[in-house]
Structure 1
Amino acid sequence: MKMNNNNILGLYIAFYLAKFNKKAYSNLGFKTQKETHEVIGSFLGIKSSTIQNWRDEFDPLFGHRTGWHQRSLSISRVRIIEAIGNLDEPSLRSIVQDILNNNNTSELTEDLEQLVSVIPREKKKKQKAIFSPRTITGRKAEEIFIEWFKSGQEEISQGKDFVDMRDYGCGYDFQIVVSDKQVYAIEIKGFLEDEGGILITGKEWETAEIMKTDYYLVLVSNIDNDPVITVVNNPYEKLSPKRNLQTIIQVNWTVSSNEIRELKNNLS
């Protein structure tokens, strides 16, 4: 089964609408959200309700609307997040405008071809839905772990200090200071059902390799019902993840040498 170009480009636009919400709708220049969905859907040959539904899938990442918080993100949605998740509003808006300004969606520009290449064109087999750490699922898994850890369980040493490292991008979520010379790193992964796959970033895997037995992977499953916590010490030695190479979309702005020369002449 193939995901066509327009569907992929529609996902980029839906992500933009979810992430920047009112600013996104305003900057695209349409009167209402409904009109925005209708115009975009008409241009791409996609139902306007589909554009809205895709936006709703991304909504739990940002909290503007509840969205489909009970639904895990599929691999195609995660690939979109990995590719453009860190872009600011002007950069992402420029991508959306390029999509909407492309006169022939059957013949893509080089930049748009790069966008659609992020997602595999054919699904080799049906894949289970997976989650992104930034979703409500991930945050809830972290909250469950904190309560579990503070309850005095014995699977991970309590240590002297428990430090929240989620905003530091260091390859794990929490740090337990055991002594002046020993620190444990704790990475949390969660999923809604009893079992499922997980995503491990390059930074997380590299840190797990370096820290060995001082690194813990905590799996929180069945989050919405009766959570089950599984602790994996030294996951680098115990797991064999498949490497995925991903394309990160970066937006750079170039100014030609002729324009610089003209500017210098005008200023002199």
Structure 2
Amino acid sequence: MGDSKKDRLGTVAIIVGYAMSRLDERYLVAQGVKTWRTAFSRAAEILGVPPASLKNLRDEFDPFHDNSRRGWRHRPIRPNRQRVMGDLSELSDDALVECVNRILGRDEKATDELFDSLVGVRAPAHNVAERLFTGRRAENLFLENCESWIGVLRPNVVDRRDSALGFDFGIAGMPQRAIEIKGLKGLSGAIQFTDREWSEAKVRGNEYWLVVVGNVAATPVFKLWKDPQRVLPAQCRYQRSVAAVWTSRVALETR
């Protein structure tokens, strides 16, 4: 990804397309528009790209997110799209909305900071798209089978995936219970925990439940581990990634 004006424009457009897909209706609300046609036209005018390009970018990311569109399910995702998705997947929705607002608000400083962060991070693994898709599929399978798998009715499962709490789901009336879902394409393989997830597992102990769903594309198989931080061996690795930092200026008056 060269540091050129064309590369920057292309990367920024990919980021906006990614946000359109992941945020879905929230993107329209955040931009104050009612239709995707208006959203594409407005963003395209600001970025200087054809509206159809943004629609195509959104559709490329759709298979990896929960929305009503099918997207381009049978088309391999391109490396630059895969990199943006991998690097921004840990951002909260609020941070992603702010990112788009700064981009479309022509905040060149913020755009440069974001681009430089993407350039500086370690290139994501080639299977990042598959990992994200497998994880989302596993989460959906858990929601469909939570009663038979862990004895919890679906209405009692609380979705915490957008809360950045270090786990995916909670249980109504059980504030200490945390449930993390991991997916595997087959019946064995490596799973990854974020530092926040691993730390949360240590704090919650037996109240932190790990559900691993394997064979997600065929006949799913699941296994439950309670207190995974204690019972599962894990190795810590270090990598660079894009992180959102919220800065606020304050003044303390003294008398």
TM class, shorter-length = 0.5 to 0.7
RMSD: 4.7
CA drift of 1:224 comes to: 2.9
Instruction: Quote the residue 1:66 is aligned against.
Output: 70
Distance 1:235 1:211, change over 3 A: same
SS of equivalent residue, structure 1 residue 226: coil
2:230 counterpart of 1:227: no
Instruction: Quote the residue 2:253 is aligned against.
Output: none
Distance 1:80 1:169, change over 3 A: closer
Amino acid corresponding to residue 126 of structure 2 in structure 1: Q
CA drift of 1:146 comes to: 0.6
Contact conserved, 1:80 with 1:118, CA < 8 A, in 2? no
Distance 1:2 1:163, change over 3 A: farther
CA drift of 1:240 comes to: 1.9
2:166 counterpart of 1:171: yes
Where in structure 1 do 4 or more consecutive aligned residues deviate above 6 Å? 28-31, 69-73, 251-255
TM alignment of 1:141-220, pairs within 5 A: 141-150=141-150, 164-167=157-160, 170-172=165-167, 173-174=169-170, 185-192=178-185, 198-220=191-213
CA drift of 1:197 comes to: 5.4
2:57 counterpart of 1:54: yes
Instruction: Quote the residue 1:97 is aligned against.
Output: 104
Distance 1:166 1:132, change over 3 A: farther
TM-score by length of 1: 0.60
- Which of the numbers 11, 16, 26 marks the counterpart of 1:13? 16
Contact conserved, 1:2 with 1:121, CA < 8 A, in 2? no
CA drift of 1:27 comes to: 5.0
Distance 1:227 1:138, change over 3 A: closer
Unaligned runs of 5+ in 1: 103-108, 151-157, 256-268
- Which of the numbers 226, 235, 240 marks the counterpart of 2:235? 240
Contact conserved, 2:33 with 2:39, CA < 8 A, in 1? no
Contact conserved, 2:157 with 2:172, CA < 8 A, in 1? no
More helix by share: 2
- The number of residues matched between the two structures is 230
Q: Which of these two proteins has the greater Rg computed from alpha carbons?
A: 1
Aligned equivalents of 1:81, 1:208: Cα separation in 2: 21
Unaligned runs of 5+ in 2: 251-255
Identity percentage over the alignment? Answer: 17
CA drift of 1:52 comes to: 2.7
Contact conserved, 1:58 with 1:67, CA < 8 A, in 2? yes
Instruction: Quote the residue 1:259 is aligned against.
Output: none
Instruction: Quote the residue 1:131 is aligned against.
Output: 132
Aligned equivalents of 1:170, 1:123: Cα separation in 2: 25
Contact conserved, 1:2 with 1:123, CA < 8 A, in 2? no
- Which string of whole-angstrom CA distances, capped at 9 and with x for unpartnered residues, describes residues 139-170 of structure 1? 313225514425xxxxxxx69xx953433765
Aligned equivalents of 2:68, 2:27: Cα separation in 1: 7
Amino acid corresponding to residue 112 of structure 2 in structure 1: E
TM-score by length of 2: 0.62
Distance 1:22 1:193, change over 3 A: farther
Distance 1:165 1:124, change over 3 A: closer
